[in-house]
Amino acid sequence: MFIVLLGPPGAGKGTQAQRLAESTGLLHISTGDMFRENVAAGTELGKLAKTYMDRGDLVPDEVTIKMLLERISRPEASAGAMFDGFPRNVVQAEALDAALAGKDAKIDHALLISVPDEELITRLGGRWICRKCGRLFHERNDPPKQAGVCDECGGELYQREDDRPEVVRNRLEKQKPPAALIDHFRTSGVLTEIDGLQSLDAVTAALEAAIR
């Protein structure tokens, strides 16, 4: 079984990927982890990927696909795999489809965790940090007793630039799964949309039910 897990930043995709990997026994393939593993091991693909990463460029689809194929050829992927962070666009999705077809396999499920933008901005943009001790707070989930003051040491709380709501909104637009990619999986008949506003356990249960 091969699964693609989709969702915007803040939807809880990383946590759910770990949970699904444990409950299904599927190999969890995060492209970020895969790049780091190949670079650290000094593989030929890792060296090639590093030349792009060092320049701040995206690793080409061809290199990424080759890494994915190598990864799913290992014994631990005998039951299949779950892709987290790939594909990011239709071109990558079509390349992945072709690569799996060469192994007499296909994407069985594309699971989209959907959360409204305003909720994502609240989740990602509500974090505050103590300048003195580094303690983290969240405006909604873990607010300080006194606004702007750390409960632990009385230090001043500040918000990192990339945690500001306007910055988070801009990042969301760039990192959300594009509509064309979602349509690709919908047309293929493998897309299931999951309500990401549910509790953590409820989202996990919905994902597991979709796979079954």
pLDDT of 69-114, one tens digit each? Answer: 888 888 888 888 999 888 989 988 998 998 889 888 999 999 999 9
User: Per the domain annotation, does 194 fall within a domain?
Assistant: yes
User: Per the domain annotation, does 120 fall within a domain?
Assistant: no
Here the CATH number for the domain that contains residue 9 is 3.40.50.300
User: Per the domain annotation, does 84 fall within a domain?
Assistant: yes
Is the distance from CB of 112 to CB of 191 less than 8 angstroms? yes
Is the distance from CB of 75 to CB of 103 less than 8 angstroms? no
pLDDT at 73: 84
Burial 187-198 (b: 16+ CB within 10 A, else e): eeebbeebebee
pLDDT at 174: 83
Domain ranges, residue 18: 2-26+79-115+177-211
Is the distance from CB of 156 to CB of 131 less than 8 angstroms? yes
Average pLDDT score over the chain:
91
pLDDT at 123: 86
| Number of separate domains in the chain | 1
Q: Which residues are catalytic?
A: 13, 88, 127, 160, 171
User: Per the domain annotation, does 6 fall within a domain?
Assistant: yes
CB atoms within 10 A of CB 118: 10
User: Per the domain annotation, does 104 fall within a domain?
Assistant: yes
Q: In the structure, what pLDDT confidence band is assigned to residue 137 with cuts at 50, 70 and 90?
A: very high
Instruction: State the DSSP H helix or E strand holding residue 206, giving kind and residue range, or none if neither.
Output: helix 200-211
pLDDT at 3: 96
User: Per the domain annotation, does 108 fall within a domain?
Assistant: yes
Q: In the structure, what pLDDT confidence band is assigned to residue 116 with cuts at 50, 70 and 90?
A: very high
Asked whether the predicted pLDDT for residue 53 surpasses 90, the reply is no
User: Per the domain annotation, does 47 fall within a domain?
Assistant: no
Give the predicted TM-score (pTM) of the model.
0.82
pLDDT at 112: 97
- Main-chain dihedrals φ then ψ at residue 122, nearest 5 degrees: -65, -45
User: Per the domain annotation, does 55 fall within a domain?
Assistant: no
